[in-house]
Structure 1
């Protein structure tokens, strides 16, 4: 079976990468950008690192920042209107998954107006035109939305998130500059970092995994395990390593899918506004335990990439247990809660399980599941 790999046309990595934004725009003949971001990044001066470059070059732009942490259908509709009213011909997405996912949906709808009903983009939408030219500038080391063909939108009315998968939404240019991530507080750094680890591990064990994605995921696991603790302490090496590790994880999972940890996490964010990375980090060890018998030797490879000593000499059961223990330890070291007791209400568990089972990430899980089994997993963490 042929394997399809979709990546950015161009990506820039490392300190000073944002210096390439203006040349990329002007060399292509663009004249005005809609800067898609969120209010906190404006308030904390993160966006100005990019807009100062635009001002210096006299490159015209307008800012759209009506975006929630878990972006909604209304955020997308308002963004489409903002783009159309601004006279912009390109987008610069600055932020974490919320800003970049919103920008993807906006860019798709502008160039494919027949999908103006945002819900029509759920799943694999048959769009015909690539999204508006977009440069994505991540400010968190976690979602890798700058390199994926996925985006997630919250349907407030139905209290659910829906995943959109479309090769036409990937930003043409990704600018991954660790300096744009240096102002992230410890809690956000930890949560987004564990999201990246979840991407890498779920992508490695998903049913759709292939040789190319395996290469990306194992290297991402190594980099994240080595650098997340340092990133939480805001060391330059930690920030640089996480910026690269989360991007490489995105190169993989975007093309092969994820599993039930993500499908379960989406429901928590939609219903309780739980930060996505926190939800993934809490659920990951339980998801790994649930899937262990359906993954062959893959947990051994994950543990080896995480630096688990002596794992090659362990039995398969020992290797799996040691790998899960290493994930739990990393999560604890960066301050992630261990359970859902403070998040989930018992009366919501059935709804959450039904939402997770219907989520686009669920079919990729290595173990076939059911609403009842997912319900039991939620309850085990309460």
Structure 2
């Protein structure tokens, strides 16, 4: 039984200058980033590398159309390395750019062409949520299909994952919250996954402790306090990425994808809508299983009874990121069954990792309750 796999070499630097000098950035490198990150952090160290600003190709989360435009502008130039400095959008796109080019990235998501990596990939995350720097997953909105879909393949692993807290400190508060909530959900879903091992569980639990304890400090000391403890969230996100990169995510992510794909809700926010409701369902279905151990960890951090753990967890998270009903994002009641069937058809990669199986009716009930 395989217990743990960590493919990228993981580095940590205090500054981007140290990082750039160590990796000797230069010609034959392509930097994918955002202009607001490139100017203060990398411009003076680029030394002849080509640069693409993701935002020139569209806003929000990655889509097949955005990826295709970038691939077209890369042309036939041969790069030795792709360097991604950015959040989840930049990282997910960069993973695909490290592959041999394809005319239409939709072919990759629909498994019509093989995934062949032909460039080294260096990832520097600038949020504290995706953990994507250590996973083999890339997710994009498929415009023509009106949904989001992920690819999971060892070809998408970075060669180097680089943590630089300096580049995360200026993350706006809402993006800090939505990204770190996503990491908390990664850690929680992967802990309950049937693929979890004693090794992945260590990373899951430590991520949960770092993130939740960090939230409690921020609620006590104010939003700006996050910059003083940003290392804890950078590490928590990375630990969660290692955990879910091995054990997988589950129903929370699966049910959130139609909301993100159709109504452009930020990924972490979309996940949080479903988080505690799905875990309450798990606890009702099998209260004496592994979830009891998770609830014990959560109740210790939150100083509450296990019976009330998800209500108390929601109270903490709602102070950081107030939840809204699905209808306020634009979802229509008739889409409850449509989204349910889309999830069952298209998200089995995630649903197989559920702590307890969800029937079609239970998925419908979850959407309806949150509607």
Query: Normalising by structure 1, what TM-score?
Result: 0.86
Alpha-carbon distance in structure 2 between the residues aligned to 1:379 and 1:109: 43
Equivalences for 1:1-382 in 2 at 5 Å?
1-3=1-3, 5-8=5-8, 10-13=9-12, 15-16=14-15, 19-25=18-24, 31-37=27-33, 41-42=34-35, 45-55=36-46, 58-65=47-54, 66-110=57-101, 113=102, 116-122=103-109, 127=114, 129-228=116-215, 232-292=223-283, 293-294=285-286, 296-306=288-298, 308=300, 319=306, 321-343=307-329, 344-357=331-344, 358-359=346-347, 360-382=349-371
Residue 244 of structure 1 and its aligned partner are, at CA, apart by 0.6
Unaligned stretches of 5+ in structure 1? none
Q: CA deviation at 1:31?
A: 2.5
| Superimposed CA distance per residue, residues 72-121 of structure 1 (whole angstroms, 9 cap, x where no aligned partner) | 112222222233355533211121111100111121243xx5xx542343
Q: 2:107·2:113 contact (CA, 8 Å) conserved in 1?
A: no
Tell me how many residue pairs correspond in the alignment: 361
Question: Are the structure 2 counterparts of residues 128 and 309 from structure 1 closer, same or farther at C-alpha, using a change threshold of 3 Å?
Answer: closer
- 1:18 and 1:131 mapped to 2: Cα distance? 27
With 226-235 and 184-193 compared, the bigger mean Cα shift is at 226-235
Q: Describe the superposition over 1:283-333 as per-residue Cα deviations: whole angstroms up to 9, x where unpaired.
A: 10001011113364533433444462698xx9xxx62x3331342122112
1:157 and 1:280 map into 2 onto residues whose CA distance is 23
Contact 1:95 1:138 survives alignment (8 Å): yes
* Structure 1 residue 182, shift from structure 2 partner: 1.7
Is there any run of 5+ residues in structure 2 with no aligned partner, and where?
none
Q: CA deviation at 1:60?
A: 2.3
TM-score between both structures, scaled by the size of structure 2: 0.88
Secondary structure at 1:142 match in 2: coil
Structure 1 pair 341–332 and aligned structure 2 pair: CA distance change class (3 A): same
Q: Cα deviations across residues 151-188 of structure 1 (Å, max 9, x unaligned)?
A: 10111111011110011111111121122112222111
- Contact in 2 for aligned 1:261/1:283 (Cα 8 Å): yes
- State the secondary structure of the residue aligned to 1:324: helix
